[in-house]
Amino acid sequence: MNVYFDNAATTKVCEESIEAMVTLMRENYGNPSSTHYMGRQAAEMLGTARANIAATLGAPFESIYFTSGGTEANNWAVLGLAKLLERKGKHIITSMIEHDAVYESCKKLESLGWEVTYLFPDNSGRIPCEDFTEALREDTAFASIMLINNETGAENPIREYSNEIKRRGFKTLLHTDAVQGFCKTPISVKTLGADLLAVSAHKIHGPKGVGALYISKGVNLPQAQLGGGQENSKRPGTEALPAIVGFGEAALIGGRTLSETAESVSGIRSRVVSRLKSELPDTVVIGGGDSPYLLSLSLPGHKSEVIMSFMESEGICVSKSSSCKKGARSRVLESMRLHNSVVDGAIRVSFSKYSTTHEADFFVDILKLASEKLFKAL
């Protein structure tokens, strides 16, 4: 049996996205910037995709800018804000649990003379609003804290951060990496209060190579690159229209089925956790379990790589921390001040709308078998 439980790394592309992309490539391959009829048709499809994503975020149509993915969107947000605001303050707030797209961008800015405050998570994996409040200063140019952590599933109180900025009358701008939250938890940019927000297609059953950045009205983010007038001249270059159309379809479906899918996935996660607690009580469940799509767990005393290898030999795909780490120790789990044995034995299990209870039971059965065999090998 083959089980794919690494959906936080990437997801299976849904048939609706595939069909939309293939149809476009076969029948309407015009450049959206061309003025002839095929170009106009392509531009209309580009607009439809933008509208789908904007609607799912509760955002204005014109505030969505397409990128090559979540990493570019986050890079553009952080580095662009630094360029925009460097004369208004040289202080940044971020956290130790950020994706490297944000964390490494902040490290780069730190090397260029910016003062960066790195907030640590509590034992649930969240960044408490009290800590954000304490770190916030009048000269804080901007803050960048993710909505849903990509390793633990912890959800941060972005709205509370935004409210605190407004309460104190500061001009601090707020960016959030919402890649793991998009189409998985209800998001309204107006309610959330973020000035910039990054999303990605391949986490929601869309294609790889495309993402988007929401930029609120009044934030004149510098150009991502130089070129023509595409994306309102902010991110020029011929749009990757097939991928964008696939993204739009995935967002449309994901937004419509958000509650239904979340309920299904929550049941699967709860089933796994319940069985582990009763049948493999030494298992440590990491974090508060805010997102039903992510489950971080550990078998202390064992090594993540060994557990993953055993699971793979039985046809199960899981990961160790973030897939972007390529085997390195998890900065996120270390920042939670977990015991070394817990960090070293941690694996990330992530679900999708295609996950089933049968797969969940098979996963638990094989994890139990792994624990027994690995324990005997010690």
- If you average pLDDT over every residue of the chain, what do you get? 95
Confidence label for 374 from pLDDT (cuts 50, 70 and 90): confident
What percentage of the chain exceeds 90 in pLDDT? 94
99-136 pLDDT per residue, tens? 999 999 999 999 999 999 999 999 999 999 999 999 99
Do 224 and 245 belong together in one domain? Answer: yes
CATH number (domain holding residue 176): 3.40.640.10
Do 113 and 70 belong together in one domain? Answer: yes
Do 249 and 332 belong together in one domain? Answer: no
Sheet holding 294-298, edge to edge: 284-286, 294-298, 346-350
Confidence label for 22 from pLDDT (cuts 50, 70 and 90): very high
Do 178 and 281 belong together in one domain? Answer: no
Do 252 and 350 belong together in one domain? Answer: no
Do 199 and 305 belong together in one domain? Answer: no
Instruction: Report d(CA 38, CA 47) in Å as an integer.
Output: 14
In a domain, 371, yes or no: no
Do 181 and 221 belong together in one domain? Answer: yes
311-358 pLDDT per residue, tens? 999 999 999 865 555 557 899 999 999 999 999 999 999 999 999 999
52-94 pLDDT per residue, tens? 999 999 999 999 999 999 999 999 999 999 999 999 889 999 9
In a domain, 200, yes or no: yes
296, burial (CB in 10 Å: exposed 0-12, middle 13-18, buried 19+): buried
Do 246 and 270 belong together in one domain? Answer: no
Active site residue 129: no
Q: Mean of the pLDDT values across residues 273-290?
A: 96
User: Domain ends where: 204, 236, 256?
Assistant: 256
Q: Are 301 and 345 in contact (CB under 8 A)?
A: yes
Q: Are 175 and 33 in contact (CB under 8 A)?
A: no
Q: Mean of the pLDDT values across residues 151-179?
A: 98
- Residue 323 structural domain: 3-12+258-364
210-255 pLDDT per residue, tens? 999 999 999 999 999 999 999 999 999 999 999 999 999 999 999 9
Question: Token pair 């804000």 is at which residue?
Answer: 81
In a domain, 369, yes or no: no
Do 210 and 347 belong together in one domain? Answer: no
In a domain, 229, yes or no: yes
Tell me which amino acid residue 354 is: Y
Task: Please state which of the ranges 164-168, 179-183, 234-238, 374-378 shows the lowest mean pLDDT.
Answer: 374-378
- Whether the pLDDT of residue 179 is over 60: the answer is yes
CATH number (domain holding residue 353): 3.90.1150.10
Do 64 and 171 belong together in one domain? Answer: yes
The pLDDT value given to residue 376: 57
Structure tokens at 349: 């299990």
In a domain, 45, yes or no: yes
User: Domain ends where: 256, 271, 302?
Assistant: 256
Do 228 and 284 belong together in one domain? Answer: no
- Whether the pLDDT of residue 95 is over 90: the answer is yes
Q: How many domains is the chain built from? A: 2
Q: Are 164 and 131 in contact (CB under 8 A)?
A: no
In a domain, 86, yes or no: yes
In a domain, 141, yes or no: yes
Do 199 and 149 belong together in one domain? Answer: yes
In a domain, 377, yes or no: no
User: Domain ends where: 256, 289, 323?
Assistant: 256
What's this model's pTM, rounded to 2 decimal places? 0.95
Instruction: Report d(CA 78, CA 136) in Å as an integer.
Output: 17
- Whether the pLDDT of residue 378 is over 80: the answer is no
The pLDDT value given to residue 320: 87
